[in-house]
Chain A
Amino acid sequence: MQSQRSTDLGATDNPSDLKLLVESLRHRSNVIRLSAMMMTNHSSLGHTGGDLSSSDILTTLYMSGLLEVDPVNPAWPQRDRFIMSKGHCSGAFYSTLAARGFFPREMLGTFMDPLSKLNGHPDRNKLPGVEANTGPLGHGLPIGVGCALAARMRGESWRTFVLTGDGELQEGSNWEAAMTAQHYGLDNLIVIVDRNRIQQGDFTENTIRMDPLPARWEAFGFAVKEIDGHDHEALLEVLSKVPLQPGKPTCLIANTVKGKGVSFAENKPAWHHGVPTKDQLVQAAQELGVSPEEMEGMGVAR
C-alpha cells in the first residue's frame, strides 16, 4: 500500500539542493524534448512544437515529486490527477510517463506503429498513467472539474492538474468548465495553460485573439499567475504553493516558446506538426545538450 501522502516534495529549503534539482530538471526536460522529436521522426507524425513548449512543465510536475503519483500502483485512488488536455503533444507526455516509470522506455519506439499502445493521442485503457483520453480539444478541463468535484465529495485531499494549450481555449467547453470550477470554488483544481502563442495554422493572435488571457481567467473566477513556463525554479516555486487563493481554482499561464530549445523549430508555426529529419535530430541533440549515449538509451531507434 502507498504510504501517507507527503507534502512539498518538490520544494526544498536548501539552496544547493534546489540548484541541483533545477539543473536535473532542466536536463531531463531536454532529454524528453529529444525523445519526443525522435518519436516524431520514427512515425513521421507528431507535434514537435507543442512537445517542446510543454516539456519543462511536464518534467517539473512528474520529476520533482510535486505530482503525487505511483507508477507501481497507477490506479492508487489517492493519487493526484494530471490531465493532458493537449493530447496531441503525446510525444512529450509519453516520454515523461516512461521516464517516471509508468512503462518501459522501449515502448516509445512503437509510437503510432500499427496496433501500438502509443496512439497519436493518449488512451487510458492502453497505457498506465493516462487519466483521460484526449485529443479533441476542450475535453480535459471538464473532466478535471469532475475529478476535483469527486475529491471534494469523497472528502479526499488529492489534487487535479490540467494542462491545456492556448489555441485549445478557443473551444467553448473550457469556459463552461471554468464557470463550474469557480461556482463550486474548486481550489483543488489547477489549470496550466501552455501559452506558446501558436496554433496549427498561425499565431493565436492572428487566428482568434486570446489576449488578455490572464484577465479572462480572472473574470471567470480563477486565481491567476503568469509564469515563465521554461523556468523550472519558478515553476517549482508556484506549483508548491497552489492553490494561489483558498476557495478559488488556480490558473497558471505558463508563457512558453513553441519549439523551445531547438533553433530551427522555435516560434515557427510550421513546426506545430513538423517532422524532424535525422540530421535535424543530431543538431537538436547538440543544442539540447543530450549526448549520443543518452540518445541510444531512449528506446527509440535513431
Chain B
Amino acid sequence: MNTTDTAIAEKPKLFDCRDAYAQTLEAMAAEDPRVCVVVNDSVSSTKMKSFQTRFPERFVNVGIAEQNMVGVGAGLANGGMTPYVCGASCFLTARAMEQVKVDLGYSKWNVKLCGMSSGMAYGELGPTHHSIEDLAWTRIIPNLTVIVPADPAETAWAMRYSLQYEGPMFLRMSRMPVREVHGADQQFALGKAPVLRQGNDVTLMANGVMVSRALDAAKLLEAEGVSARVLNMSSMKPMDAEAVLDAARTTRGIVTAEEALAAGGLGGAVAELLALHHPAPMRILGVPDVFAPTGSAEFLLEHFGLTAQGIRAAALDLLGAKR
C-alpha cells in the first residue's frame, strides 16, 4: 500500500468473506433440509470443516474431480436438494466449464456454484491458480446468475438470496481481507447496484475486493475537487442497467475496476451496454491481456494499478481527456 492509501485508511477491521459464507451456509442448512454441499477435496480452503462435522450426511466430497463435482450438483438438484458446489474458482470454472454450460446454464438446475479464492487471491501460486478469467466465462452463459459480493454483509445476503432464488448461480468469493463497505441499513437486491457514494463528475464502478479501493479513490478525488459516484456492481448478471445508464447520462464518464481480466468482465459488460444505449467515455481497469506474474495479491493489485491511486489516475485521465 502506498502512502496516500495508508493515509486514507483508518485501520478498519478486515474480514475474510469466506467466514460469512461458511457461517451463513451452515445456518441455512440448519433451517432447510435441502441444503447440501459438494466439494473437491477443498474442505479447508472452502472453510467447510464445521459444516462437514455438523451435517456429514449432507456433505459430499468427490475428491479432486471438478467435472464430476458440477454434474453431481446437477443430479442432487434433480433429486430435490439445493447443492452448494464449492471449490477454488480457477478449477471450478475452467476445469468444469462444459458442465457449467450444459448441466447448469442450459439445464437450469438449481445449483449454486461458490468460486472460492477468486481473482489473484492465490497470487504467489502463479497464473495456474489465478482465477481472473472467471467473470468473462460465467457472465456469458445464459441463465447463469453471477454475484461478486464485496464484504461480509453482502456475502451473507448473497448466500441467503441464493437459497430463495430458483436457478443456477455463480457466487464469486475472495479470500483477500476486505473491510465493510456497506452501512448497517444497506438493502441488497439482485440486479441493483448499491450506491455507496453520490457524485456528479465521474462514476467509479467496482466489484468484490475493488469496491473499497473505489471508495478510497473517491476520497482522493474529493480532495482534488472531483465529485465521484461509487457503485458496487456486485450483481454482475443481471447488471443494474438503469444505474449504469444513469451514470453515463449524469456524470462525465465511467471507470470500472475489477480483480479480473479487463476483457470480458465488468468493464466489458458496462461497455456493451453503453455502446448500444448511451456511449460514454470509459476507462476499464483490470489485468491486461497477460498472465499475471507471481506475487502476493496485494502486490499484484498494485502491479496492475488496481488501487485507489490507480482508479484516481484513471478518473482524472478520463476527465482531462474531455477538458
| Interchain CB contact under 8 A, B75 and A148 | yes
Q: Which residues of A contact B80 (CB under 8 A)?
A: 77, 150, 154
Given known contacts A172-B67, A177-B68, is B60 in contact with A131 (CB within 8 Å)? no
| Interchain CB contact under 8 A, A139 and B81 | no
| Interchain CB contact under 8 A, A150 and B81 | yes
**Complex CA distance for A153 and B32, rounded to whole angstroms:** 13
- Chain A CB within 10 A, most for which of B36, B57, B72: B72
**Complex CA distance for A1 and B75, rounded to whole angstroms:** 24
Q: Quick one: CB contact mask for B70-97 with A, threshold 8 Å, 1 for yes?
A: 1111111111110100000000000000
| Interchain CB contact under 8 A, B68 and A176 | yes
| Interchain CB contact under 8 A, A125 and B107 | yes
Q: How far is the CB of B42 from chain A (nearest CB, A)?
A: 15
**Complex CA distance for A135 and B99, rounded to whole angstroms:** 12
A248 within 8 A of B: no
Q: Which residues of B contact A45 (CB under 8 A)?
A: none
Q: Quick one: CB contact mask for A128-171 with B, threshold 8 Å, 1 for yes?
A: 00011101101101111111111101100000100000000000
| Interchain CB contact under 8 A, A146 and B106 | no
**Complex CA distance for A150 and B71, rounded to whole angstroms:** 13
Given known contacts A153-B57, A179-B63, is B75 in contact with A142 (CB within 8 Å)? yes
**Complex CA distance for A139 and B99, rounded to whole angstroms:** 7
Residue of B nearest to A145 (CB): B72
Interface of B is mostly: helix
**Residues of B in contact, count (CB < 8 Å):** 30
A173 within 8 A of B: yes
A180 within 8 A of B: yes
Q: How far is the CB of A85 from chain B (nearest CB, A)?
A: 10
Q: Which residues of A contact B83 (CB under 8 A)?
A: 146
**Complex CA distance for A123 and B103, rounded to whole angstroms:** 11
Q: How far is the CB of A133 from chain B (nearest CB, A)?
A: 4
**Complex CA distance for A81 and B78, rounded to whole angstroms:** 9
| Interchain CB contact under 8 A, B65 and A132 | no
| Interchain CB contact under 8 A, A149 and B108 | no
Q: How far is the CB of A78 from chain B (nearest CB, A)?
A: 10
B298 within 8 A of A: no
B98 within 8 A of A: yes
| Interchain CB contact under 8 A, A142 and B70 | yes
Residue of A nearest to B62 (CB): A180
| Interchain CB contact under 8 A, A146 and B63 | no
Q: Which residues of A contact B57 (CB under 8 A)?
A: 153
Contact of B102 among A133, A150, A151, A153 (CB under 8 A): A133
A264 within 8 A of B: no
B252 within 8 A of A: no
| Interchain CB contact under 8 A, A133 and B103 | yes
Chain B positions 26-72 with a Cβ under 8 Å from a chain A Cβ: 36, 57-58, 60, 62-63, 65, 67-72
A124 within 8 A of B: yes
| Interchain CB contact under 8 A, A184 and B103 | no
| Interchain CB contact under 8 A, A133 and B36 | no
Given known contacts A138-B67, A139-B71, A173-B68, is B98 in contact with A146 (CB within 8 Å)? no
**Complex CA distance for A92 and B297, rounded to whole angstroms:** 53
Residue of A nearest to B73 (CB): A146
Given known contacts A133-B103, A139-B103, is B67 in contact with A146 (CB within 8 Å)? no
**Complex CA distance for A136 and B99, rounded to whole angstroms:** 9
10 contacts between A and B (CB under 8 A): A133-B107, A136-B98, A143-B74, A145-B68, A145-B71, A146-B73, A146-B76, A151-B79, A153-B36, A180-B68
The 4 closest A-B pairs by CB, nearest first: A146-B75, A150-B79, A142-B71, A176-B68
**Which residues does A use to contact B, with CB under 8 Å?**
77, 81, 123-125, 131-133, 135-136, 138-139, 141-151, 153-154, 160, 172-173, 176-177, 179-180, 183-184
**Contacts A143-B74, A150-B79, A179-B63 supplied; 8 other A-B pairs, CB < 8 Å:** A124-B107, A125-B107, A138-B67, A142-B71, A143-B103, A149-B60, A153-B36, A153-B81
